[in-house]
Amino acid sequence: MPITPATAASSASTGTGTQDAIMLELVDESGNTIGTAEKLSAHQAPGLLHRAFSVFLFDAQGRLLLQRRALGKYHSPGVWSNTCCGHPYPGESPFAAAARRTHEELGLSPSLLAEAGTVRYNHPDPASGLVEQEYNHLFVGLAREGLRPDPEEVGETAFVTAGELERRHAEAPFSAWFMTVLDAARPAIRELTGDAAGW
């Protein structure tokens, strides 16, 4: 049974210790839905092309909110990445999924969230052997409330300027997909933050 937001919430709260498999939406090269697959199997090499989303939130100073993925995550643990990323449930809109997961992972609801295009990529993760074959919907927005990160999802957060990001990216491990999604979202980021922010 494909998990919907409603069944995901109820299965997680049963306390039985068993959860239904998380299903992802498979797509063709144009982003049209062609089926579903279980989350882990979709990421096993060579990977199945599936729908995903990436969120970039900024504060009033134009700084990007980064998160370091929790060490317990099976895919890309302990690396820095964009504000939030994930997968819509089958039939769930990417916009709704982006807003939902941002709240679930970071405890905040963006005060503004706008579409910023799509990008398709194939990024293997050498550490885990998993593959990101994704048709990714990009979103940019503003974060204007306190963070309450879920420690099972997020190990650390940081607001960074464009210059600070360059230094951090040179020194610390980032997700394999980070620069691809950031570069694809840059036009919308510049429109949101203005030229002075340097994005």
Question: Which residues are designated catalytic?
Answer: 85, 134
DSSP code per residue over 9-68 = HHHHTS-SS--PPPEEEEE-TTS-EEEEEEHHHHHBTT---EEEEEEEEE-TT--EEEEE
Closest-CA residue to 24 (of 40, 8, 9, 10): 40
Provide the 10 A C-beta neighbour count for residue 47.
Answer: 17
Q: How far apart are CA 184 and CA 55, in angstroms?
A: 12
How far is residue 79's CA from residue 69's CA, in Å, rounded to a whole number?
6
Query: What kind and span of H or E run contains 123?
Result: strand 112-124
CA dist 174 to 7, 59, 123, 163, 171, Å?
32, 21, 13, 16, 9
Which one-letter amino acid corresponds to residue 6? A
With left for phi above 0 and alpha for psi between -120 and 50, is residue 17 left, alpha or beta? left
